C-alpha cells in the first residue's frame, strides 16, 4: 500500500505568466500530475482503458506561499489523507528546495461513465488495497 509520493517536475516557459511567475492554474495541474504519479507508483492508472470508471475532481483548495519561476524544479509531496466509500482526499505540499510554494487539498470521486452520463459509485477494491490513508 502507498499513502504518499514525491513528484518532481521542471517548470516550463509555457507555465508562466507575463511576470515570469508560474500562473496559478498550473499549480492545480502540478497537483493533478502528482496524483497520477502516486497512482502509477501504486500500480494503478486513474483512467483504465478497459473500465468505465473515472475519478473527476470535485473539490480543490490552494494556498499560495511563494512564487515559482521558469526552469525551477518544483516538488509536490502528495498524501492520501482520507478515503470514503466513493471519494479520495489528497493533501499537497509543493516546494522548491526548502521553500514552500503552495499547499492544497484535492478530492476526487469515483464515477461510472456511460452514454447517459456519470454516476457516483464505490471505489474498486484494488484501489482501496493499493492506496493507503496516512495515519493522523
Domain spans in the chain, listed from the N-terminal domain onward: 4-130
Flag whether the pTM goes above 0.75: yes
What is the spatial distance between Cα 54 and Cα 94, in angstroms, rounded to a whole number?
25
Q: How does pLDDT run across 4-21, given as a tens digit for each residue?
A: 999 999 999 999 999 999
CB contact at 8 A, 30 and 73: no
Mean pLDDT of the chain: 95
Region class of 105: left (phi > 0), else alpha (psi between -120 and 50), else beta: beta
Whether domain 4-130 has CATH 3.10.129.10: the reply is yes
Amino acid at each position: 500500500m502507498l499513502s504518499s509520493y514525491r513528484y518532481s517536475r521542471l517548470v516550463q516557459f509555457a507555465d508562466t505568466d507575463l511576470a515570469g511567475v508560474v500562473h496559478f492554474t498550473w499549480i492545480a495541474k502540478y497537483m493533478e500530475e502528482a496524483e497520477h504519479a502516486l497512482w502509477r507508483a501504486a500500480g494503478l492508472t486513474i483512467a483504465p482503458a478497459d473500465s468505465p470508471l473515472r475519478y473527476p475532481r470535485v473539490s480543490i483548495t490552494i494556498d499560495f506561499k511563494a512564487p515559482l519561476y521558469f526552469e525551477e524544479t518544483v516538488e509536490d509531496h502528495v498524501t492520501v489523507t482520507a478515503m470514503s466509500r466513493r471519494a479520495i482526499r489528497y493533501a499537497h505540499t509543493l516546494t522548491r528546495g526548502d521553500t514552500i510554494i503552495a499547499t492544497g487539498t484535492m478530492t476526487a470521486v469515483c464515477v461510472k461513465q456511460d452514454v447517459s452520463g456519470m454516476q457516483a459509485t464505490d471505489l474498486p477494491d484494488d484501489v482501496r488495497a493499493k492506496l493507503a490513508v496516512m495515519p493522523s
